[in-house]
Structures are given as C-alpha cells and as structure tokens.
Chains A and B, each alone.
Chain A
Amino acid sequence: MLVSNSGPDASSRAVLRFLVEQLPGVSLVEGGTSLEPSVTSDPPTLRSATVVEGTALRAVKVPDFSRQTASGFGAFLDGAQKVRVAAHREGIPIVLGTVSAAVRIRVNRRMTTWGHRPPCVERKMYVPLRFLPQLAGLQGLLSSATGSGWEIVDTSGPDRNGEYPSQHPSVLLERAMRAVDQDRQRLEERLAEAWCAKSEAPLFIDGGISGSATVASSSCAVGIVKSHRTLYVEGDALRIVLGLKQGERSSVFRVSPRSRSSVLSWYLRLRGADGRDALWGLVRVEVADCDRPRERADEVSRWVMAEMTPLSLPDGRWDKMAYGVRDCEEFLRAIS
C-alpha cells in the first residue's frame, strides 16, 4: 500500500475553489498536511495462533529453492492512497483522499495492467458533516464544480457502539484516515474478488487476504503481509520466528481474526537479518485453508522467495517488497 502526499492537482484545486465558495470562513491549508498511517494504527501486539503443521511452531528450511526457481505468481495487487488535510473551518479538518488499486499481470516477465478489470481510482472529500452541516446536501454541486467524480464522505457518523466522535481535531482526523483506509481496502478486495472469480493464476496480494471471505477461500490468492504490528506468535514461538534464517519459514498456523475470515499463515525470512533489526526481510504469508498445508507453504514460500529479484530499491521497504508490488505502486502513483 502506497501512501503519498503531494501538492494539489487540477482536480483538487477545483475542490478547494468549491470549498471557498460554499463554506465562508474556511481556511485553506497551504501545501497540505500529510496524514501518516501510524496515526490510526493499532498498537503493536502479540497474539497466539493455532499451529496446523505439526504440534509446535518451528523453523523449516524451504526445500528445493534456488535462484533458478520460477515464481508461480501471475499477477500482483496493491492499493494506494493519497491523503491531505486541505482546509479547516474553526478547527474542523476537511480531508481530501484519493484511493486506488490495480492488478498488474506478468506477461513474458514484463508487467502490464490486467485488462479484465481496469484499475480503480476514487477521489473523496472526508468531512464531519455533523460539525460542518453547510456541506451536507452539496454532493451535486461538488460533482458539477469538479467534474471528476469527487464524493463527500461523512466521517462523523456513530461508530459500532453508537457513539459520535468528539469535535477534537485529532479524533476527526483519525476518523477520516480510517475511512480512507477502509475505502482503499474495499477497492483492493473488489479487485481481488474479481481476480479470484476468473481464477487465472496465483495472485500476489500486498497485505492480508482475510478481509474478504471470497478471497480468503480462494486458492489463487496469496497475501503477503510486510508490517508486523500484530505478531501471531508468543513465547518460544516468537523467538523461533525472530530467529528465522534467510530461506527459512515457520510452521503453518491458522489466523482467525475477529470479523475476518480464517486463513492459513506462516512467517518467511526473505533476507538475512544479520546486522539488521529482527524484522528485516520477514514477511507473513496468508493463503486459503487447504488439505496439505506443509506442501502448500513450501510451494508458496518458493514463489515468494523467487520474487526477491529484482530489488525494489529505492523503496525503503525493499527487504520485504516484491518488485511486482513496487510496480503496482509506481503505476498507481502515475494514474492517481
């Protein structure tokens, strides 16, 4: 997932003009303010999981891997979001967000956009209408003013507990950021489901697959999780995972998050962590449940390791990022 910030493009400038016209007293933010994903991230946690390969979690050398090993992935999926605080009125932030997602397929070792389903791009203005009621009901005006499908999203609705957010700007920003995240995830899941429906070839998904039941149960979807805010190991198992050598994976375990689908998962060390931090080159792989988890884990691990070249430099996450994912991000950066 790509998060980027940049100055207003022509489309965003139209939104700003709209705000100035429709919202007297609004104050435009020069240069925009970036909203980092960490603002809304959950705190790092350890969580236990059920081992399904053997009885206890252990390190397993991925067998039969060499630099000549061919990858089975036929396509890559990733999403991106651009978020900026565009304006505020009396401290109430107005956030502009662009989310996008694309599947890039590999043909003759070169990446190209999946022709069956075009990449998705959505542009939205995230506004707490509860505190800025002047903007409510202006969707039609916004669309005609911008001509590019901008949509107003209310970020001040009640949460699952029925509670409304306070007027604290940070709370409202967090609400907006979470809404952007959700929109991006929705786009990614929509594309992933479309891919799984076609079932053309294994799809490398940047991130987990448990968000969609369809994707989580598809044999052609493989999720690669690079961030480890939640580690599904505790105690000795944690030491084993953090001590994985290059080319080793952990035993397969089952991940069953609340409100999400259950999937099989394992940790895989792509690059040696000597002299680096413990999570260097460490990814967590998610696949749909299957009868022979060991063989499936070995096979998918070989594919993931085969994606280690070419390097994704200069991206800072190059130790974990497949080049196909970087290609998706560059593509999304270009179109959104």
Chain B
Amino acid sequence: MSEALGRVVATERKPNTPHEFHFWTAIDSPVGIGTIVRVDGAQPMDGQIPHIYGIIVEGFSYTDLQSPMHDVLGHDGSPTLAGFASTERAEIRLYTAAVLRQIPEEPLQPVPMGQVFLAEEADVQAALRMDGYLREDANTGIPIGVYRAGGTDAVIYLDADFLLGPEAAHLNITGVSGLATKTSAVEWLLASLFKHFPEDKGSIAAVCFNVKGPDLCYLDQPGKVEKSDEALYEKLGVDTKPFESVRYFAPYTAKGLALNTFRNNEALLDNVTPLTWGLREVLQFAEVLLNKDDVDAKADALIDFIKESVVDKEFPADNVLKKSHRVESFADLDAWFRDVLQGLENKNGESWRTHHVATIRKVRNRLSNISTRCAGLVTDSGAVSDLPFGSFGDRTVYVVDVANLEEDAQDLIFARIVSKLREHLERRDLGVKHLVVFVDELNKYAPSDGPDTYVRKMLLDIAERGRYLGLVLFSAQQFRSQVHRRVVGNSGTALYGRMDPDELSTPGYAVLSPATRTKLATLEKGQLMIRHPHFTQPIFVRFPRPAVMQGREGAERYPQANEVTLESAILRALRPLDPSITLGWVQEITALYTEQEVIRARNATLLARPKDVKAYFSSQFRKIIPAQPAQRPMAGSIRSVPENDPYGF
C-alpha cells in the first residue's frame, strides 16, 4: 500500500459532509484538481473500515501571515529581499474533495477523519463504480481515456449500456473550436467503440455528418501517432490504425461535374458515392425546405395532394389538363404544373380541384425552386443515389459530407437521412442493430432559441426516444448553453474539452467548482472532462490522438480537385470503376451529346456499377447516326440540242 499523502481535517467553519470533505497534504504532494483520492476511516463501522473515494475539486494555499502588509514590512518593501529570508513561512495545502463513493454505502455519513491516499487503479475502478460493468462475465466497458495523477495510470471505461442504450444513451461534446478536440474525441471514441463494443450486443455502425472542414474526410487514411500516444493505445486496447471500413457520400457541385466534397481527389474516390435524390425523395421532406411563413395551409394541402395523387402515379387528363401525366422527376412535375396552369388560363378558371390558381402558382414556384437551391443534390431527372439503407455494414463509418452545401441542402440531407435511419431501425432492417449518428455544430441544428425547425424536432426525437431503437446521437458544439436543453439533457454522457470562459460563466456550469472551471478553461489538447451516469463527479482523462489522417494534413496531401471539363469529370468518375478508361475514349463517346445527357449517363453508370463500364456507359446514350456528307448527284449530261432545231425540247 502506498504512503498516506494527506489527512482529513474538519472544523466547525469547514465541516465535512457526506458529499464533501477537506484534507491537507505536504507541499510537494502530487495532487491537484481532478485527482482521485481514497480516505481510510479510522473507526470500523459494522466491523468494516470505511473507504471513501473523492475527487479534488478545490484547493487552497495559505501561510500564517495575518496581513499582506506584514510581509511587506518584513522585507522592507523589497520582493527580492524575501528570497534571502532564512525560513519560509509555514504553508498549508488544503484541498476540498467531492465524494465519489462511500463503502459501505449505508448508512451514509459525513466523511470521517482519516488518512488520505492517492487512488490506485483498483481504487479508481471502485470510485467510479466501474467494477459494476467490468466483470469478466459481463464486461460492457468502452475505454474512453486514461486518468493520470501522481503516477497512477488508470483506464476509464464508459458503460456501453449507458452510452448506446438501453439504460441511457447519447453523448455530447463541448469545447472551443480550433483545437480539434471535439472531432478527435469522436474519432477516437468511435475507434474504441468499434473495438470494444461487446459482440453479443450486436452490430454497430456510425453515420457522421461532416458539416465543416475536412476533418472527417480521411478516416480511412493512416495518421501520425506519437510514441506517447502509442503507449496510450496499447493501454486502452485499441489498434493504432485508421478505420477499416469507411464510405463517403457527397452530392455534386451545382454544375454537376465534380463531387462537392473535400475528398474529391482522384486518389480517394474509390469509396466516395454521389448523393443524389429525385422528386420522390425530396417531396417527402418538402417542409424542411419550405418557409412556414410563406407556405400556408392551402399550399400545404396542394403539396399533400401532389404527394398523394400526382407523384409516381398515372394522372389522367381532365377538363383542365390536356393530357395524362406520370410525374417522376422535377422536370415531369414542372410539365404537369404548366399543363394545369395553361388549362386554367385557357378556361379562364380560378381554381382546379379546390386549389386556387394563385396557390398553384405559389407551390409551383416553391417546389421548382428546390432543384435550383439544392442543385447537385436534387436531380431534375429523378436519378437516385443514396446511402445503403438496409445493408449497413458492421463497424462501418458512413460519412455524409455536407460541408460545402447551402443551409437548405444540409437541412434536407440531415432530415431525410436521419428519418430513413429511424424508419429502418424501427423495422429492424437497417443492417446493423446499433447506429451512432454524429452531428457537429449542434448550436445551429438544435439551438435553444429560434424557430422550431423540422431538424430540431427530429434531433429532440432522437434524443428522447432514439435509445429504444438503437439510434444514438453523438453531438458536438462550441456552446452547450446555446443548445436545446432537452437534447443535451438527454445525453447520458457529456465530454468537455477546453472551454470558453464566457461559456463557463453561464448557469449550466454553476455545479462545477471555480477550480474545476478554471481547469476546464485551460485544458490541454487531448484532455477531456467526462460526465457519465456511473460517475457521481466529472473526471478528467487523456485520450490519444486518433490514428487517422487529420483534416489539414489530408487536405495538403490530397488537394481538392478544381472544377474540370466535362470529359475530365466523366473520366475521374468512371476510372475508379474501370482503370482502362481514357480521356480519349470519353471524348469519343460523349462528343455528340449534350452535357445533361452525359451527366445522366455517368450517374446511371455510377449507380449501377456494372462489370463492363464502357459498354454500360455507352449504352446510356440515344443512337445518333452520324451525319453523312450529302452526295452530290452526278450532273447528267445535258443533251445538246441544235440551236436551230425548232422541235427540240
């Protein structure tokens, strides 16, 4: 057993309580804010020596000096002379610790006087109640980092049942921007989760929305791992390698030639899939894109009518419509609108099927506008390229890169993908049993104030009911205080990186001691404060830098491709499917066709991923018989007629 490092003290002014105690240590004692200690009581209770575990939350230091003026006088007002004094004043290091656990737990009494010891690894497990879920027969521990203090290195585990459900679920990370703590922590935690999530609990995958920068764009590429981090990886039982299975999804740019992602370098395109949706997919979530102030009940009714009775159905001609329609794309829908409005105009009518012409015009305007606002994602043609709902792979990360998209498109993608995930998880046919959804910038998507958007409602729904489905939200933001209370409140686990002092001054952090808040404001990169249902107090841990390529390094090594010519774009898209394709071949095949036709052919090929790429791509074009130069008819010989022949013709 190690030597005692302190003694519990209590005075009438500063008594100990069942949840807090005070102790002093030697000046050079290796303890500080966040250190876990153990108190051994002096008197047995029911034949058992009580053990109390606590974490230091506040520290005091003072001398026997009664007034600062005495020190000034003692050194003749010269600070340099103070260094020559023969004796240092008696000085105390007095700490306040919050109780983590008392053994025995009943009867719960104020912390007794006793010796204080630095917590060893077994003490840390007991203090944080980790012994309850690290049993050999039922180990649900997920390593999150290492607690370090005074020579003690103890792995801190989260309980998978409380991280991914069903007991509690969800995780929220807060921290200032620019230190890469939030993203790094999530990358590390996913790696740990994939490695340690118990096999008997089923399969697990993650969908990450990359909402800014290139940080999540190189998860399958190895990154630099420092020696010190290698030791951490070893201790935490996680391999120092990038994710083995990662798939990327990104829409096209507005022009439709290149993928709108940081990861559109040709060398990385093999696992990047275009994300394109047609009318059917978008109309289902039209309300995400439509301004509620603009679209009233009448417009809603018309949109519902279109969804129910027009899209994907044979819509017959009537007294207004000239012809029957089958609406499968935005182009078809526009044709349908044109026919309706033309018919009304011709008949000088004001309404059609109870819908006023003004409402019809307004809805046409708004819906047609979507394909423009979400160009690259929404296709006029109706071509769909989507996440593999129904065949999600175990331990696979699906990254949806929406970083370069307009807000509307981001909202649409977010709303639709999460809704689909939820639907599939409800039906138990997603392909995996548990799914982690990572969303950064929660300030933006689920703000504590502002309008009640579709996205926020959906996030609230996940936060409150997702754990029953296996749908778990890992969220991050800079300012936790600005996120909806029900979202962060339902996060069973909360991580805190370095915090902004202004944020720390908000009421949500009042439960933390001033010293803990100060430590939070000065946390190093790679350090986190953790709150978890099993931990009665926040714990500070270190985690290793993720073994994946960091965003900045990736962006330098694999620069984002610029907009290229149509032929080059086609080449880059198809070459990962068939390396024998050349620019000359693409030029030859596409020379006769419009840009729209070429892009449609490319999209169809990428979606089908055929064995014979060249043949499939070529077959997408309509037959055009090359123009033949007109044969000049042979001029017939002119019959010569004698000038003087009066009967000749």
Is B truly associated with A? yes
A residues with a Cβ closer than 8 A to B are 67-71, 73, 106, 109-111, 306-311, 313-314, 323-324, 326-327, 330
A73 touches B84 (CB 8 A): no
Nearest-neighbour CB distance to chain B for A319, whole angstroms, equals 11
Closest 4 CB pairs of A and B: A311-B74, A71-B86, A309-B85, A314-B66
The secondary-structure label for the interface of chain B is loop
Of A307, A310, A330, which is within 8 A of B71 by CB? A310
Shortest Cβ distance from B76 into A: residue: A67
A330:B85 contact, CB within 8 angstroms: no
CA distance A109 to B27 in the complex (A): 13
A306 CB contact (under 8 Å) in B67, B71, B86? B86
Closest to B86 in A: A71
Instruction: Give the residue of B71, B74, B87 whose beta carbon is less than 8 angstroms from that of A327.
Output: B87
Q: A311-B73, A311-B74 are in contact. Are A327 and B90 (CB under 8 A)?
A: yes
Are A330 and B86 touching (Cβ within 8 A)?
A: no
B89 near A: Cβ within 8 Å? yes
Given A310-B89, A323-B89, A327-B90, the answer on whether A67 and B84 have CB atoms closer than 8 Å is yes
Which A residues touch B70, using CB under 8 A? 311, 313-314
Per the bound structure, the CA–CA distance linking A117 and B609 in Å amounts to 89
B624 at interface by CB-CB < 8 Å: no
Closest A residue to B90 by CB, please name it: A327
The interface residues of chain A lying within 8 Å CB-to-CB of B90 are 111, 327, 330
B556 within 8 A of A: no
Distance, CA A101 to CA B337, complexed state (A) = 104
User: How many Å lie between the Cα of A314 and that of B64 in the bound state?
Assistant: 9
Cβ contacts under 8 Å, A310 to chain B: 65, 71, 74-75, 85, 87-89
Q: Is B81 an interface residue (CB 8 A)?
A: yes
A109 touches B86 (CB 8 A): yes
- In this complex, the member of B64, B65, B82, B87 whose beta carbon has the largest number of chain A beta carbons within 10 angstroms is B87
Q: Are B64 and A307 in contact (CB under 8 A)?
A: no
Residue of A nearest to B85 (CB): A309
Judge whether A67 and B86 touch: CB under 8 Å: no
Q: Is the CB of A307 within 8 A of B87?
A: yes
* Among A71, A308, A323, A330, residue most surrounded by chain B Cβ atoms (within 10 Å): A323
Interface string of B56-78 (1 = CB under 8 A from A): 00000000111100110111100
Q: Give min CB distance, B312 to chain A, whole Å.
A: 85
- A330–B92 Cα gap in the complex (Å)? 13
A121 to B70, CA, bound (A): 32
Give every chain B residue within 8 A of A306 (Cβ-Cβ). 86
Do the beta carbons of B73 and A109 come within 8 Å of each other?
no
A313–B90 Cα distance when bound, in Å, is: 13
A309 cross-chain contacts in B, Cβ below 8 A: 74-75, 81-82, 84-86
Partner of A110, one of B64, B66, B74, B87: B87
CA distance A314 to B67 in the complex (A): 9
For A67, list chain B residues within 8 Å (CB).
76, 81, 84
Q: How far is the CA of A71 from the CA of B84 in the complex (A)?
A: 10
User: Is there an interface contact between B86 and A307, defined as CB atoms closer than 8 Å?
Assistant: yes
The chain A residue sitting closest to B70, CB to CB, is A313
Residues of A within 8 A of B71 (CB): 310-311
B170 nearest CB across to chain A (Å): 51
Are A68's CB and B66's CB within 8 A?
no
Instruction: State A106–B90 Cα separation when bound (angstroms).
Output: 11
What's the tally of chain B residues with a CB closer than 8 Å to chain A? 20
| Minimum CB–CB distance for A193 against chain B, Å | 24
Inter-chain CA distance A309–B74, complex, in Å, is 6
A69 to B88, CA, bound (A): 15
Interface residues of B in 85-138 (CB under 8 A from A): 85-90
19 contacts between A and B (CB under 8 A): A67-B81, A68-B84, A70-B86, A106-B87, A109-B85, A110-B27, A110-B87, A111-B87, A111-B90, A308-B74, A309-B84, A310-B75, A310-B85, A310-B88, A311-B73, A311-B74, A313-B65, A313-B74, A324-B86
Looking across the interface, which residue of chain A has its beta carbon closest to that of B74?
A: A311
Taking the closest CB of chain A, its distance from the CB of B613, in whole angstroms, is 79
Q: Which residues of A contact B82 (CB under 8 A)?
A: 309
* CB-based nearest A residue for B27: A110
CB distance from A252 to the nearest CB of B (A): 24
**Roughly how many angstroms separate A69 CA and B81 CA in the complex, as a whole number?**
11
Closest to A106 in B: B87
Closest approach, in angstroms, between the C-beta of B351 and any C-beta of chain A? 95
Q: Which residue of chain A is the closest to B78 with respect to CB atoms?
A: A67
Contact between chains at B84 and A324 (CB < 8 Å): no
A109→B88 contact, CB < 8 A: yes
Contact assessment for B81 and A109 in the assembled complex, using a CB-CB cutoff below 8 Å:
no
On whether A313 and B87 interact (CB within 8 A), knowing A67-B76, A67-B81, the answer reads: no
Question: Please, which residues of chain B bring their CB within 8 A of the CB of A111?
Answer: 87, 90
Nearest chain-B residue to A66 (Cβ)? B84
Partner of B88 from the list A110, A311, A313, A330 (CB cut-off 8 Å) is: A110
A302 to nearest B CB, angstroms?
Answer: 11
Closest to B66 in A: A314
Known: A106-B86, A309-B84, A310-B65. 12 other contacts (CB 8 A): A67-B81, A68-B84, A71-B86, A73-B86, A110-B27, A308-B74, A309-B81, A309-B86, A310-B71, A313-B66, A313-B70, A330-B90
Complex interface: chain B residues within 8 A of A106 (CB): 86-87
The interface residues of chain B lying within 8 Å CB-to-CB of A323 are 87, 89
A324 (CB) vs chain B CBs: closest residue: B87
Q: A67-B76, A309-B74, A313-B70 are in contact. Are A109 and B87 (CB under 8 A)?
A: yes
Q: A327 to chain B: which residues have CB within 8 Å?
A: 87, 90
Given the complex of chains A and B, what is the CA–CA distance between A306 and B90 in angstroms? Answer: 18
Q: Which residues of A contact B67 (CB under 8 A)?
A: 313
A162 to B81, CA, bound (A): 58
CB distance from B359 to the nearest CB of A (A): 86
> Who on chain A is nearest to B73 by CB?
A311
Q: Give the chain A neighbours of B74 by CB distance below 8 A.
A: 308-311, 313
- Give the complex CA separation of A326 and B90 in angstroms: 10
Contact partners of A69 in chain B: CB under 8 A: 84
Of B65, B82, B86, B89, chain A has the most CB atoms within 10 Å of the CB of B86
- Give the shortest distance, in Å, between B427 (CB) and chain A (any CB): 72
* A241 nearest CB across to chain B (Å): 25
